Amino acid sequence: MNAIEIEQAITDLAEQPFDFIEFPYQFLEAFGNKSTTIKRLRAGTSNKSDLGGVLQTNNIHLLTCETGKVTQALAALKASPVTAKAKAKFVLATDGFYLEAEDLTSGETVACAFKDFPDHFGFFLPLAGISTVRQISENAFDIRATSRLNRLYVELLKENPIWGTAERSHDMNKFMARLIFCFFAEDTDIFVGKGRFTETIEQMSLRDSSNTHEVIAILFRTMNTNRKERAAAGIPRWADEFPYVNGRLFSGNDDVPRFSKIARSYLLHVGSLDWTKINPDIFGSMIQAIAEDEERGELGMHYTSVPNILKVLNPLFLDDLRTKLEEADDNARALLNLRKRIARIRIFDPACGSGNFLVIAYKEMRAIEAEINRRRDEPDRKSEIPITNFRGIELRDFPAEIARLALVIAEYQCDVLYRGQRLALAEFLPLRYDNWITCDNALRLDWLSLMDVGGSGVKLVSDNLLQSPLNQAEIDFENEGGETYICGNPPYVGSSKQSAAQKSDIQKLFEASNIKYKNLDYISGWFWLASKFCKDVNGAAAFVTTNSICQGEQVNLLWPTLLNKNMEIYFAHTSFKWSNLAKNKAGVTCVIVGIRAIKPGSKFIYFDNIRKEVTRINPYLLDFADVFIPRHSESISSLPKMLKGNQPTDGGNLILAPWEKRDLLRRNPEAEIYLRKLYGSKELIDGVDRYCIWIEDYELKDARSITEISRRLGGVTQARLQSPAQSTRKRANDAHRFIQIQDYGKRAMVVPEVSSEKREYIPCGILDEESIATNKLFAVYEPDLYVFALCSSKLHRVWVEAVCGKLEERISYSNVLGYNTFPVPELTEKNKADLTRCAEDILLAREHHFPATIADLYDQEKMPPDLRMAHERNDEVLERIYIGRRFKNNTERLEKLFDLYTKMTSSTASAKSKKRMMGAN
DNA sequence: AATCCGACAATTC
DNA sequence: GAATTGTCGGATT
């Protein structure tokens, strides 16, 4: 269960009639315990309670009691020896009217009316075994609000299916945004009288809910009508107490969906929450998920957590502002200048979602400004930071709507925090009419035109074509000559997973450049536009991005042109795993890259949160000079050819597990000649046994006479016909052959395509001539063993780690990027012989530990000393060939390798161009 | 004809 | 559940 589901379950439980016997079980069930766990507790087998309650080990001791005896019951629970013995973290007692509970770890207590216990949702969350509890507890309100809005949304769509269609979804989204605003406003005195909005709906709408939509529509119309015009607009007296809000929020269509009785009660339910606790930096991200079919009821899988947003914003510009604040000390003049500077900073998130980067940036800047005002002794001063300087582009309608709302709420909360509620209220309404969040495709827009750079004209895209076009003269951006910082977390989509529309976005952007764009990740588009933007504007840009644009092939595709000698990477966070509160988190590893026009000043690389000051950062995010490594079709060091293994593309039909092989041979012993041992990475590393059907053309007729083989070949044909790739479908009738056959029937030195990054060495292996290597292995056929020594070396590991792509953080080997590019000094026959000896020693050491698998042997903790020694000797011999001694560390290794690579490739390049010139002569 | 990559995916701990 | 660690095959060159 996720947090939202738990919230719903305990809310339901509090509303049900209290059941003295059942309550403890219902309570545990609401927190996501499995029915088998509950059953065992009921049966008493796992129930350790000595008081007739329910005690779940490592969790909670619950007791229901007679009316009025709750406090005594809780004391008894705490005093019970079994509570401590079972390591219960909570005790809870209730009589159905009143409830008391204590968190035994923190000593925190809750005492409330029974029906209100769901209000302490955050308190009880550790019971759900959610690991990021602290964060969730901090955001308990936002989760509750999301949960309840979610129910309302679903119920309204049930009642008004039309509102779920593409044409009406904008109206639905606008409606939800208006509601959220009203809930916030009624709890913060923006509307006179706490809870007046919800209360008015409750009083004025009939209990059967039939006119609820009309009541709400009148309220919305009121908020869109200036006081002077209300009489003429026929606003009824009961609505007149509501203020004029406007700010586009209530303009336009004021249709309201029809309410069922349930929807009406849900609405009142959402309204009863205390919306002052709303946290706009995270709330929007949660709430936006309710409008998305796949993610409804989840906390959005792609929203960026606050710590990760700060990883972008702090080095991007906030650290600098804070340094300047510190330098200004109490100097009134310097403080004033800084305040002026801050007021003109634009923050631009071209993939803003519900605006959490913008909100956090706003709040952080307000904090700095408040400190300036404090030091200047102007604490009540109106903020000079306009929220319209926080621009965004968002493709989806609902988040765009929410982003604007979140900024409005953030502005109000900051005013309350720094200037007091009276001043905050005085200036809050009516909302400004500006439209500063654009709902459109960021890769198809001219960013400069949304930014009013240098005070030139402004071109804005209306967010709703039904409304009259914006009067551009009304828009005052207050940032002439200011800086612009671009930030955000745009979508990542690998080149082979992009939709046709996304492909075409990328094509449009890059086709005029010399970049080969077809293998780029979708996010490259944002970096591309940002770098163009930064050339024209005083500012910088940083995004959270998939780490793959800073690895392998993409480095050489994107960055040389993007940096183009006038841009630089000025800070970077190295790989970290994506994480937020969502249950189904996106599975991706990210980096953060900050770019700007070249200028002096420090650069920083962050590993986890450790900051290292450097003078340069290359696009691999390493502290080395820029090196761009393209695919090389042959070894720059004259090493023998390395091929990819053979790719089946068989839908599993040509491949047999050991038991399948046994069954087949029991029935058809004559099939043995068509079977071979098959090796991919897993088979090599973990010693997994697998076999494949391998039939030469001339054997096909005989092989087909074996029913099972014939059946399997049919399966291959079927699988290939299903493929979206034409090249695969074409080979459907060639079912007895792997789709891609490189080489076989020879002894081979093999390297796994993907393997764990935790090993000190890439675990290469040797296959005999009977075995088949799949496309999960690279192979050098009939190898000289010194090649095994090279590929098994620390130097090679370091090189491949740096220049090949990765699968998240895994080593993803490549012949053309890692092997062919590996720079090796010219080897003498003696060198080769020495290395061959080292290779043999490694292989012997492995054999000595038979039947341990490679995974066992190369486990950092458990690597046997003799094998380790053999590798050390191998490294020693090889490194002496490079520099006459051992390298001190991996940095020195990589430095040498980059250096050597540059020398070796520039000399072959000059040799080639010499050749060309000679040819021309 | 040959290879990089996956807002991953399957399996284990 | 989160920690570990490599399948499979498409799209592109």
Give the integer Cα–Cα distance in Å for A571 and A73.
58
Evaluate if residue A295 carries a pLDDT over 80. Answer: no
Q: How many CB atoms lie within 10 A of CB A116?
A: 12
- % of residues, chain A, pLDDT over 70: 93
pLDDT for the residue numbered A281: 82
Query: Which of A147-161, A383-397, A450-464, A517-531 has the lowest average pLDDT?
Result: A450-464
**Token pair listed for A437:** 């969040």
pLDDT band at A97 (very low <50, low <70, confident <90, very high): very high
Computed on alpha carbons and rounded to an integer, the radius of gyration of chain A in Å comes to 33
Contacts from A21-27 at CB under 8 Å and sequence distance 24+?
A21/A64, A23/A62, A23/A64, A23/A94, A23/A96, A24/A53, A24/A54, A24/A62, A24/A63, A24/A64, A25/A54, A27/A62, A27/A92
What average pLDDT does range A760-784 have in this prediction? Answer: 97
- State the nucleotide closest to A813 in CA–C1' terms: B4
Give the integer Cα–Cα distance in Å for A437 and A402.
10
Residue A815 CB in 7 A reach of strand B: yes
- Of the candidates A785, A656, A637, the one whose C-alpha atom is nearest the C-alpha of residue A709 is A656
- State the nucleotide closest to A301 in CA–C1' terms: B7
- Of the candidates A805, A692, A691, A677, the one whose C-alpha atom is nearest the C-alpha of residue A753 is A805
Tens-place pLDDT, residues A874-883 = 999 999 999 9
Instruction: List the A774 CA – B12 C1' distance (angstroms).
Output: 24
pLDDT for the residue numbered A481: 67
pLDDT band at A131 (very low <50, low <70, confident <90, very high): very low
Dump strand ranges (E) for A474-598: 484-488, 539-546, 567-577, 589-597
Instruction: List the A588 CA – B6 C1' distance (angstroms).
Output: 9
Tens-place pLDDT, residues A629-652 = 999 999 999 999 999 999 999 999
C4 closest protein residue (CA to C1'): A756
What average pLDDT does range A658-667 have in this prediction? Answer: 95
Tens-place pLDDT, residues A509-549 = 999 999 999 999 999 999 999 999 998 788 999 999 999 99
pLDDT for the residue numbered A480: 60
Residue A809 CB in 7 A reach of strand B: no
pLDDT band at A660 (very low <50, low <70, confident <90, very high): very high
Dump strand ranges (E) for A710-856: 748-752, 754-755, 765-767, 772-773, 777-781, 806-807, 810-812
Residues 706-735 of A with CB within 7 A of strand B: 727
- State the nucleotide closest to A586 in CA–C1' terms: B7
Tens-place pLDDT, residues A62-77 = 999 999 999 999 999 9
Residue A794 CB in 7 A reach of strand B: no
Instruction: List the A714 CA – B8 C1' distance (angstroms).
Output: 29
Q: How does strand A777-781 pair with strand A643-644?
A: antiparallel
Give the integer Cα–Cα distance in Å for A460 and A668.
74
Q: What are phi and psi of A569, to 5 degrees?
A: -85, 120
Site of tokens 């490679």 = A854
The protein side of the strand C contact, defined by CB less than 7 Å from any of its atoms, consists of A 129-131, 495-496, 503, 516, 518-519, 647-652, 655, 680-683, 685-686, 719, 723-725, 727-728, 752-756, 758, 774-776, 807-810, 855, 859
pLDDT for the residue numbered A473: 34
**Token pair listed for A829:** 């026959």
Let me know: does A395 contact A491? Beta carbons within 8 Å.
no
Tens-place pLDDT, residues A175-228 = 999 999 999 999 998 998 889 999 999 999 999 999 999 999 999 999 999 999
- State the nucleotide closest to A303 in CA–C1' terms: B7
What average pLDDT does range A880-893 have in this prediction? Answer: 97
Residue A367 CB in 7 A reach of strand B: no
Evaluate if residue A389 carries a pLDDT over 70. Answer: yes
Residue A649 CB in 7 A reach of strand B: no
Give the integer Cα–Cα distance in Å for A882 and A892.
12
Tens-place pLDDT, residues A401-424 = 899 899 999 999 999 999 999 999
pLDDT for the residue numbered A294: 67
Kindly report the length of chain A.
921
Q: What pTM does this model have?
A: 0.89
pLDDT for the residue numbered A246: 80
pLDDT for the residue numbered A461: 34
**Where on strand C do bases come within 7 A of a protein Cβ?**
1-2, 4-13
pLDDT for the residue numbered A292: 76
Instruction: List the A435 CA – C6 C1' distance (angstroms).
Output: 48
Evaluate if residue A149 carries a pLDDT over 70. Answer: yes
Tens-place pLDDT, residues A241-271 = 999 998 778 887 889 999 999 999 999 999 9
What average pLDDT does range A745-769 have in this prediction? Answer: 97
- State the nucleotide closest to A488 in CA–C1' terms: B7
pLDDT band at A456 (very low <50, low <70, confident <90, very high): very low
Give the integer Cα–Cα distance in Å for A744 and A435.
65
User: Helix A356-375 to helix A319-328 angle, to the nearest 10 degrees?
Assistant: 0
**Token pair listed for A859:** 């486990």
- Better pLDDT: A166 or A376: A376
pLDDT for the residue numbered A476: 41
Give the integer Cα–Cα distance in Å for A423 and A406.
20
Q: What are phi and psi of A153, to 5 degrees?
A: -60, -50
**Where on strand B do bases come within 7 A of a protein Cβ?**
1-9
- Looking from the CA of A622 toward its CB, the CA atoms found within 13 Å total 20
pLDDT for the residue numbered A877: 98
pLDDT for the residue numbered A516: 95
Q: Alpha-carbon torsion A618, A622, A625, A626, what sign?
A: negative
Residues 580-599 of A with CB within 7 A of strand B: 586-588, 590
Give chain A's end-to-end CA distance (angstroms, integer). Answer: 76
Let me know: does A789 contact A766? Beta carbons within 8 Å.
no
pLDDT band at A762 (very low <50, low <70, confident <90, very high): very high
Instruction: List the A902 CA – C2 C1' distance (angstroms).
Output: 42
pLDDT for the residue numbered A424: 93
Give the integer Cα–Cα distance in Å for A265 and A142.
20
Residues 554-583 of A with CB within 7 A of strand B: 554, 578
Give the integer Cα–Cα distance in Å for A490 and A812.
25
- Collapsing DSSP states into helix, strand and coil, what is residue A133? helix
Instruction: List the A576 CA – C3 C1' distance (angstroms).
Output: 15
Instruction: List the A670 CA – C10 C1' distance (angstroms).
Output: 36
Q: How does strand A98-103 pair with strand A90-94?
A: antiparallel
Instruction: List the A711 CA – B9 C1' distance (angstroms).
Output: 28
- Of the candidates A265, A247, A117, A119, the one whose C-alpha atom is nearest the C-alpha of residue A185 is A247
Residue A493 CB in 7 A reach of strand B: yes
Give the integer Cα–Cα distance in Å for A698 and A701.
7
Evaluate if residue A465 carries a pLDDT over 50. Answer: no
pLDDT for the residue numbered A479: 55
Tens-place pLDDT, residues A681-726 = 999 999 999 999 999 999 999 999 999 999 999 999 999 999 999 9
Evaluate if residue A621 carries a pLDDT over 80. Answer: yes
Tens-place pLDDT, residues A354-376 = 999 999 999 999 999 999 999 99
- % of residues, chain A, pLDDT over 90: 74
pLDDT for the residue numbered A909: 54
Q: How does strand A675-679 pair with strand A765-767?
A: unpaired
Contacts of A888 (CB under 8 A, 6+ apart): none
Evaluate if residue A470 carries a pLDDT over 60. Answer: no
A519-544 residues labelled b (16+ CB within 10 A) or e (exposed) = ebbbbbbbbbbbbbbbeebebbbbbb
pLDDT band at A35 (very low <50, low <70, confident <90, very high): confident
- Collapsing DSSP states into helix, strand and coil, what is residue A606? strand
Query: What's the mean pLDDT when you consider all of chain A?
Result: 90
pLDDT for the residue numbered A452: 65
Residue A546 CB in 7 A reach of strand B: yes
